[in-house]
Amino acid sequence: MECPIPRLTVAKERATRRVVEAAPLRFASHPVPDAAGAEAAAEMLSLLCGLSADDLVLALVSGGGSALTTLPALAHVSLETQQAVAGSGYKAVLRVLESFESIRILRQVLDNMPKGEIDAKIKEVPPGEGIGHAEAPRGETFHYVRSDGTNSPIRHKVRAPTFMNLPTCKATVVGESITDATIILAAIDPCYCCTERMAVVDASTGKPIMSGKDLVRLSQEKTARVRKELGL
């Protein structure tokens, strides 16, 4: 049974122009989105808006659909912002610019945020301690919090996934070549700033002067002193 297609819009990458029967083409950019892709997405959306519950819709979306038919989930995030963020994987300089674009996104969202209270204004928290854990991209993130009854914790410890994943290299890297070792290490997608643990060591003797617990104690004492100075 032949199914007639009265109207169809196809967005294709400019580098792969081919003739498609009975379907108007809209050539767009990939992987960095452009205005042509946004217009194609808007045209597709307008076609869908005119359909009823009895109409049949076939949607074939490739892996590049997010760029070829870009349409922001938030109308106030500009196409220029999307272009800068999408291009960060192709030019090293855009990795830095991505941070500025992220700030622009936050400012755009904040400018359009409805007015109202956003502060929970928690005055007191029952004394005690608690733990929390959640699944992160690299594994489980663990939090430990201890309260003395005020609205500021006296201890908050975070254990990131890489802190637990990195020691596996003691078994997986041993006996491998240097070139393979770097690939094995990259396989856990390490975040080195998540593994930092500090200590104070005498450079002349190599002996530790302060441990991690000593540094935590000094931090707590400084926090208490600053709170007292500020009258908190």
Q: pLDDT class for 29, splitting at 50, 70, 90?
A: confident
Could you say which DSSP state residue 150 is in?
S
What tokens were used for 181?
Answer: 């070792």
User: Residues 106-114: contacts with CB within 8 Å, 24+ apart?
Assistant: 108/74, 108/76, 108/77, 108/78, 108/81, 109/74, 109/76, 109/77, 111/76, 112/74, 112/76
pTM of the model: 0.38
Predicted confidence (pLDDT) per residue in 62-97, tens digit: 655 566 666 655 556 677 766 666 654 454 555 567
pLDDT for res 7: 45
CA gap 11, 47 in Å, rounded: 14
pLDDT at 43 over 70: yes
The DSSP bridge partners found for residue 158 are 143
What one-letter code names the amino acid at 217?
R
- What integer pLDDT is reported at residue 68 of this predicted model? 63
Contact yes or no for 79/70 (Cβ under 8 A): yes
Given a cut of 70, is residue 2 above it in pLDDT? no
- Residue 166, classed as helix, strand or coil, is helix
* Whether residue 5 has pLDDT greater than 50: no
Q: Which of 171, 140, 175 is nearest to 158 (CA)?
A: 140
Residue 5 CA to residue 22 CA, distance in Å, equals: 8
> What are the pLDDT digits (tens) for 123-159?
777 899 999 998 887 888 999 999 888 877 888 888 8
Mean pLDDT of the chain: 76
